[in-house]
A and B are shown apart, each in its own frame.
Chain A
Amino acid sequence: MEQNLSAALFFLFLCGMLLLSAPVTSVFETIQAGSGALPVYLFGVWLLLIIAAAWVVRRSASTADESETD
């Protein structure tokens, strides 16, 4: 369970690195600033990462419980 959990969290880390740094964020160098797309995007990705991490941790805890009761 532990290795999979670490790997899943590392996967999220890579997703976060990808979505929150150049070159992906460089898209916003050209987008019209007044639309507010950049802060919405950043806070959105941020929240998604947190939810995903919570979900991964919770799922791994529940599978650990199952394997204990087995």
Chain B
Amino acid sequence: MQPYIILSVSLLYLLILFGIAYYADRRKAQGRSLIANPYVYALSLGVYCTAWTFFGSVGRAAESGVGFLPIYLGPTLMALLWWVILRKMVRIAKQQRITSIADFVASRYGKSTRLSIAMTLITVIGIIPYIALQLKAISGTYLVLSGSNVGQTGILADTALYATFILAVFTILFGARELDATERHEGLVAAVAFESIVKLVAFLSVGIFVVWFTFDGPADLWQQAMVQPGLQSLFSFGEDTIPLSEWFWLTLISMFAILFLPRQFQVSVVENVSEKHILKALWLFPLYLFAINIFVIPIALAGLLLFPGGTVDADTFVITIPLFEGSSALALFAFIGGLSAATGMVIVAVVALSTMVSNDLVIPALVRSGRIDFASRADATGSLLLIRRVSIILILLLAYSFVRFLDQGYSLVSIGLISFVAVAQFAPAILGGLFWKGASRNGALAGLLAGFAVWLFTLVLPTLETAGLLGSSVTENGLFGIALLQPYALFGVGHLDPISHAAFWSLTLNGLLFFGISLISRPGLSELAQASLFVDALDPGRQQLRGSLRPRSASPEDIILIMQRFLGAERTARALTEYREQFGTTPDASTRIFEQDSFINYAETLLGGVIGSASASTVVSSVTREEPLSMEQIMTMLDETRQALAYSKQLEEKSAALELTTAELKEANARLLELDEMKDEFMFTVTHELKTPLTSIRAFTEILRDNPGIPAEKAGEFLDIITRETERLSRLITQILDMQLLEKGAMKADFRQTSLSEIARNAVQATGHQFAEKTQAFSHDLESCEPMPMLADADQLEQVLVNLLSNASKFSPAGGRITLHLGAEGEHYVIEVTDNGPGIPEDERELVFEKFSRARHATEASIPGTGLGLSIVKSVIALHGGTVRVEEAPGGGARFRVELPQKRNGEA
């Protein structure tokens, strides 16, 4: 195909791409973002698929069967964890205006300049081979398509060099036209999303062409391929294709690559519009990977069938098959697809790297060496842009030199994997730093450097050696001739392939140092503050406020001057307006220290987006001074602590009170249950008591009715019993009624002047027969008694005495002794009724006065009673203003002691 056709179509394609980017930027300026949807986000993540995927996967499949797949399965697996990991990274990057992965790591570990420089160097050196791969793919496929010879050419005739220059121009157009504090490039993202569509469609077109037009469908292709002896063994694991150990390590490093490759960080974190887009992308992006890989194996098999014996480089099958089949238009389309895959990667990666180089390497170096004059009022935004543009050109030239001087015919995939291992070194520092507050700067730095050193030794050194740049043969003999230090068999571990071997040693050493040193070193104050901002990013309530412990002060004019230098006058003015909207104040010289501190932090975060957090921190600290904590602030802090303590004490008290209430409620409940039981018992007793007299009354009346001829004497006897039983019944009912009245407080005593000894005498007469029946000895001292005058309801008091005496009789055994004693003690009359029965256990003494309650042994011995007698006693005595209690009598038995006031209250 004529070179001018290829060149003009390629340039046309690039111009369309730029047109899309330009349109997206204009839409953004109008506030109608083109990229604010999850589909564009997922497509832009497709920048992962580079010329490596487009051309290299087929080459890899032709060599090792399914060996190309771990590179896509790893990201699929990692995508499942995006909601946890990537969302957190996006949140942090937005909170802290982080614009590159080097800045991310440096910020996490206390805005360390050393870390930001180390990260940048590792990334740039690590990614150079990857960019080189794209240049090589573009020039290589161009040569195939144009039919030129692939031999060594002079540097001026090298297509890769021209590709490099064209890409440099476009990268500057896309990524370094102007400075932006957020480093977001909507145009770039739109262009990358478009490129993802182009390369997918191109690859699928080739795949369909090969399967259904060159061959008769997949079954035909498979059958033809399986007849070939060499192809059968392609589709299993093993030394000839891909050993399972390599499968594992490739999956692992691809999992890290999808998160930590600078271009992936750029599109997935920095350019992220909304965290919600991650939810859709976490399955859409794997689906994209699935689609772009579905035809890899068929194309590889077709290529092997069409070009047996390795006459054609398998990395170019995507173009050579359509060419061979005479479809040069499809071959051109495939070339454009590959071009889009390569340019997408180069532009995004170089933009990301140039941001890093200027923000995290050049500016910190200039700031440190004092080359940036803070006093100068000159606008520095121009020089910042210049630094960006120069670094873009330098990075691309470095990549070109790799192709020109180091590449010795490596396959695309093996070059790319070298970069993957380099980027995987970020895993401990970033993942550890995201979830573990104890991760320390020294640990991260040591791990990174050790991992990088192993990477250089095990992967880069052999490459340099193959290129003939090193004299001695380290690969064979080991470093300094030590056999244990061979790059492909470090410490004698020789059975792994070079990539797995390098990944194993670098990641192991890196992780060990990261965790080991973090465990023994104590992070500083600024590190701790940043650790909290990162680890608790999804839980803002737990983030400790930055800088609140060490307020800084500065003249606001100085800060604004610095902002103008690095952001430009217009953007500074906008930032100040935003600050006023957010905090409601404008910074001026009279602002209090705390507010000034918040303004300084605001400015520092903003500057961090343009010149990197480490540089921003250095620049800002050149005009600020840390305030020692004033007495007032200390007092405020103490006051806050005191209030917190007081509050917690209040809470404690409340909970104690609650406990008490609970205990009381429990007790009350237990008492209610007890009373309920007593009531049941009472009901049983009362019905029993009522039934006994009723039964005998009924029995005798029936006898009298049925036997009219009964002797009058006998009938009289029966009638006497009936009368007695009726009286007993009515007494019982009266008691219950009395009880109810007492209970309601409705019973009124009929107080008259009366004599207590007279009342006692009546009571003794009424109960005398009970003692006689049980042959109990009853003694009293009524004869020697004074009249004991008092105001009382004589009937009620007599009832009290009758109750007490009959109780004593009931509970004493036959032949027992009962005594009644009346006397006066001080202001009181005392009545004591003593028996020699079994007595009342101490824990029941209060209880016996309760309504329906009966001493336990009374129930057991089935002594008849309603359980109301003593309750009535208590109520009546209370009505008379006296007390009643039960004690143990001297010789065992119970003594009821009633005390009644001689004069009622209010009585003269």
Interface residues of A (CB under 8 A from B): 5-6, 9-10, 12-13, 16-17, 20-22, 25-26, 28-29, 31, 33-34, 36-39, 42-43, 46-47, 49-51, 53-54, 57, 61
Contact = CB atoms under 8 A, between A and B. Distances in A.
A5 B294 CA distance: 29
A58 to B, nearest CB: 9
Nearest to A20: B73
Interface stretch (B275-283, B702-710, B776-784): B275-283
A39 B81 contact: no
Contacts of B297: 39
A50 B286 contact: yes
B84 A57 contact: no
Given A21-B244, A38-B66, A49-B77, 4 more contacts: A6-B83, A20-B251, A33-B232, A50-B286
Given A9-B83, A10-B84, A46 B236 contact: no
A12 B598 CA distance: 43
Interface string B36-68: 000000000000000000000000000001100
A20 B294 CA distance: 17
A18 B415 CA distance: 29
A5 to B, nearest CB: 6
A20 B237 CA distance: 12
A33 B236 contact: yes
B327 to A, nearest CB: 26
Given A50-B283, A50-B286, A57-B279, A38 B81 contact: no
A28 B81 CA distance: 28
Interface residues of B, number: 33
A63 B77 CA distance: 24
A29 B236 contact: yes
B667 to A, nearest CB: 42
A5 B87 CA distance: 13
A53 to B, nearest CB: 4
Contacts of B248: 21-22
Contacts of B238: 29
B287 interface: yes
24 contacts: A5-B83, A9-B84, A13-B81, A16-B80, A22-B244, A22-B248, A29-B244, A33-B233, A33-B235, A33-B236, A36-B226, A38-B237, A42-B66, A42-B73, A43-B294, A46-B290, A47-B290, A49-B77, A50-B283, A50-B290, A53-B80, A53-B282, A53-B286, A57-B282
B88 to A, nearest CB: 11
Contacts of A49: 76-77, 80, 286
A47 B297 CA distance: 16
Given A20-B251, A21-B248, A21-B251, A28 B237 contact: yes
Given A31-B236, A39-B66, A39-B297, A57 B280 contact: yes
Given A6-B83, A20-B251, A25 B237 contact: yes
A54 B297 CA distance: 26
A42 B237 CA distance: 12
Nearest to A55: B283
A28 to B, nearest CB: 6
B232 A46 contact: no
A50 B287 contact: yes
Contacts of A10: 80-81, 84
Interface residues of A, dominant DSSP: helix
B215 interface: no
Among B80, B234, B280, B294: residue with most chain A CB under 10 A? B80
A57 B539 CA distance: 22
- Most A CB contacts (10 A, CB to CB) among B77, B287, B294 go to B77
A31 B73 CA distance: 22
Contacts of B244: 21-22, 25-26, 29
Contacts of A16: 73, 76-77, 80
A28 B236 contact: yes
Nearest to B276: A61
Contacts of A20: 73, 77, 251
B79 interface: yes
Contacts of B435: none
Contacts of B18: none
A13 B80 CA distance: 6
A53 B290 CA distance: 14
Contact of B80 (A9, A29, A47): A9
Nearest to B236: A33
Nearest to A31: B236
A61 B513 CA distance: 41
B283 A57 contact: yes
B594 interface: no
Contacts of B247: 21-22, 25
A13 B77 contact: yes
Among A5, A22, A33: residue with most chain B CB under 10 A: A33
Given A22-B247, A25-B237, A25-B244, A54 B283 contact: yes
Interface in B74-116: 76-77, 79-81, 83-84
A54 B42 CA distance: 13
Across the A-B interface, give the 10 residue pairs with the lowest CB-CB distance, nearest first: A13-B80, A33-B236, A54-B283, A53-B283, A22-B244, A34-B232, A33-B235, A9-B80, A34-B226, A16-B77
B505 interface: no
A22 B84 CA distance: 26
Contacts of B235: 33-34, 36-39
A16 to B, nearest CB: 5
Contact of A36 (B84, B222, B279, B280): B222
Contact of A9 (B81, B234, B237, B294): B81
A18 to B, nearest CB: 11
Nearest to A54: B283
Given A21-B251, A25-B247, A36-B222, A53 B237 contact: no
Contacts of B294: 43
A65 to B, nearest CB: 13
Interface string B220-249: 001000100000111111100000100110
Contacts of B593: none
A67 B280 CA distance: 20
Interface in B253-294: 279-280, 282-283, 286-287, 290, 294
A4 B280 CA distance: 17
Contacts of B362: none
B69 interface: yes
A52 to B, nearest CB: 9
Contacts of A33: 232-236
B234 to A, nearest CB: 7
A42 B289 CA distance: 13
Given A38-B236, A43-B294, A53 B81 contact: no
A51 B76 CA distance: 12
A45 B244 CA distance: 17
Contacts of B81: 9-10, 13
Centre residue among B226, B233, B234, B244 by max chain A CB count within 10 A: B244
A50 B244 CA distance: 23
Contacts of A25: 237, 244, 247
A54 B234 CA distance: 32
Contacts of B65: 38-39
Contacts of A13: 77, 80-81
A61 B247 CA distance: 35
